């Protein structure tokens, strides 16, 4: 998708830019996460995100989960186990979104939320001095937990500091040792 088409779509309506599927992969040469996101049109957007930016976003996502989790600790553990890859309700592996298309370095991520879901708006510089949201990702609680598990697995692969991740995530990592490095969430 050309920059002009991305700008035009961003100006018209945000729904057109909602990512339908997402593959999250750590790239060691870039020392960044690459989010390959598929738009409703089938086109792919490559979003490169730094550890610094992801750390800030993950903190907001985890805080939202804590605020919207089940009050009963037993219920929370069941919900968390359902969201783990390979768990009873976990995401089944799918074909990764191809890493094709023009890459964008994400400069900021807008975080918004409701009681039901979170929304991440990925902003990049398309022309000097012009920052635009080119894609967004909306996740309900279970999908968010699944994506955080995928992101955490890639985070560990990167060797990035794990201090911001809660015990229910770091404990689940030991169960996912045999999991593939790439996961797709849609």
| DSSP helix/strand/coil, 80 | helix
pLDDT score, position 2: 52
> What's the Rg (C-alpha) of the chain?
16
Question: Length of the chain, please?
Answer: 186
pLDDT at 154 over 90: yes
Is residue 10 within 8 Å of 133, Cβ to Cβ? yes
Model confidence pLDDT, tens digit, residues 45-61: 999 999 999 999 999 99
Residues 6 or more apart in contact with residue 112 via CB below 8 angstroms: 118, 119, 121
Residues 6 or more apart in contact with residue 64 via CB below 8 angstroms: 113, 118, 144
Q: 102 versus 11: which is more confidently predicted?
A: 102
**DSSP state, residue 95:** P
Decide: pTM greater than 0.85.
Answer: no
Mean pLDDT of 163-180: 69
**What string of DSSP letters covers 13-36?**
-GGGGB-SEEEEEEETTTTEEEEE
Is residue 8 within 8 Å of 17, Cβ to Cβ? no
pLDDT at 85 over 60: no
Is residue 96 within 8 Å of 44, Cβ to Cβ? no
Name the β-bridge partners of 27: 32
């Amino acid at each position: 998708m050309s920059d002009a088409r991305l700008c035009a779509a961003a100006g018209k309506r945000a729904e057109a830019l909602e990512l339908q599927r997402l593959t999250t992969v750590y790239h060691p040469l870039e020392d960044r996460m690459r989010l390959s996101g598929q738009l409703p049109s089938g086109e792919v957007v490559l979003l490169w995100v730094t550890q610094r930016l992801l750390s800030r976003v993950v903190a907001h996502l985890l805080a939202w989960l804590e605020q919207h989790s089940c009050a009963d600790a037993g219920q929370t553990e069941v919900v968390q186990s359902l969201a783990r890859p390979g768990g009873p309700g976990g995401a089944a592996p799918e074909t990764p979104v191809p890493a094709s298309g023009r890459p964008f370095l994400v400069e900021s991520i807008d975080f918004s939320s409701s009681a039901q879901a979170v929304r991440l708006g990925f902003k990049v510089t398309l022309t000097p001095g012009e920052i635009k949201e080119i894609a967004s990702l909306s996740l309900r609680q279970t999908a968010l937990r699944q994506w955080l598990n995928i992101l955490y697995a890639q985070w560990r692969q990167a060797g990035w500091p794990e201090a911001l991740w809660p015990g229910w995530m770091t404990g689940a990592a030991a169960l996912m040792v045999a999991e593939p490095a790439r996961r797709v969430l849609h």
